[in-house]
Amino acid sequence: MSQAPDMSQVPATPPGPGRRHLTTLRADCARCVGLCCVVPAFARSADFALDKPAGRPCPNLGADSACTIHDRLRPSGFPGCVVFDCFGAGPVVAAGALGGQDWRASPAAAGAMMTAFPVVRALHELLWYLDAAVARPAAAGLRHDLVTAYDQVEALTRLPAAGLAEVDVDGVRARVAPLLRRVGELVAAGTPGPGRELRGADLVGARLRGADLRGADLRGAVLLGADLRDADLRLADVIGADLRGADLRGADLTDTLYLTGMQLESARGDAATRLGPDLDRPAHWTTPSRPAPVPLPTPSSRPPAPPAGRTTGARGARAGRRPR
């Protein structure tokens, strides 16, 4: 049964300016129970130091659901854990589909966790994009549709585990994607930049230092290891762009559309990289260290499919932002 939102059933939700849901779309490990350290499978790679089957707790996960090596994930060989972002799905699943039950003690809760977390996580990523779109002044004419889509997707996240198992995530993405794409076009139309068409472009290792990429369509572009130092990416649409190992030192991303913390964590940057208020500067950008290696894509490190049908940063496991 498809659970794609029916855009014809439009509730009259008054749109509001600015990002409205940032708090609920951020990882909050203190209110989670280590779901992303249990549910996904890891393969030993540049992202993870060990193999782990799906559903088995990572050996570094403590009994209190905290990562025992959270303060040294990168040097311990787990950069994928730092990169990963559940977009706030963990607490929603812990309180909703699991009903507060401990997955360690309840086989039913463990099953619900396995079903619910990937679905809610994917829906929350869509909510992140929709929330970003609603905030754009250029999308004022679409705010009603965007807010409606947000509310409908958000409603799916509250389904019980059995209902979540029936959600057609790809169908939901397909319904939301045109809206997000249209917002990208409207935003780009208002930029003085050249608005380059680079959707899905292979820009691996590209030399784009100082490039004027304002308003560029970089949806799903592969910028693995690209030199984007001092580039101007304001108002560029980067949904699904692979920025792993990209050099963003001195780049301007203050108003970049659909940018995620995962993309930033997977890239390199510094104190001169300009970011908007909605995103945190990755800790490894300001810690003196050797340049971050570019993880090679592996089957297990394939990122989740974004609405544009391309990649979104590196797949990981447990956010290093766990406040312990």
Interface residues with ligand SF4 (CB under 6 A) are 37, 58, 60-61, 67, 69, 78, 81, 317-318
Of the two residues 61 and 93, which places its CB atom closer to ligand SF4 in the complex?
61
Are 72 and 80 spatial neighbours (Cβ–Cβ below 8 Å)? no
Dihedral pair phi/psi, residue 138, rounded to 5°:
-65, -20
Are 37 and 117 spatial neighbours (Cβ–Cβ below 8 Å)? no
Closest approach, Cβ 37 to ligand SF4, in A, equals 3
Closest approach, Cβ 264 to ligand SF4, in A, equals 18
Of the two residues 60 and 152, which places its CB atom closer to ligand SF4 in the complex?
60
Of the two residues 308 and 314, which places its CB atom closer to ligand SF4 in the complex?
314
Closest approach, Cβ 39 to ligand SF4, in A, equals 10
Closest approach, Cβ 120 to ligand SF4, in A, equals 18
Of the two residues 61 and 138, which places its CB atom closer to ligand SF4 in the complex?
61
And the tokens for 272? 């001169």
Q: Is 220 exposed, middle or buried (0-12, 13-18, 19+ CB in 10 A)?
A: buried
Q: Which of 34, 87, 40, 91 has its CA nearest to residue 60?
A: 34
And the tokens for 57? 């707790």
User: Which residue's C-beta sits nearest to ligand SF4?
Assistant: 318
Element (H, E) at 284: helix 283-286
Of the two residues 103 and 258, which places its CB atom closer to ligand SF4 in the complex?
103
Of the two residues 184 and 261, which places its CB atom closer to ligand SF4 in the complex?
261
Of the two residues 58 and 236, which places its CB atom closer to ligand SF4 in the complex?
58
Closest approach, Cβ 52 to ligand SF4, in A, equals 8
And the tokens for 290? 């050797």
The CA–CA distances, whole Å, from 13 to 16, 78, 140, 150, 162 equal 9, 42, 14, 10, 28
Ordered DSSP codes for 151-185: HHHHHHHTS-HHHHHT--HHHHHHHHHHHHHHHHH
Element (H, E) at 79: helix 79-83
Closest approach, Cβ 191 to ligand SF4, in A, equals 38
Query: Degrees (nearest 5) of the Cα angle 156, 135, 174?
Result: 40
Closest approach, Cβ 56 to ligand SF4, in A, equals 11
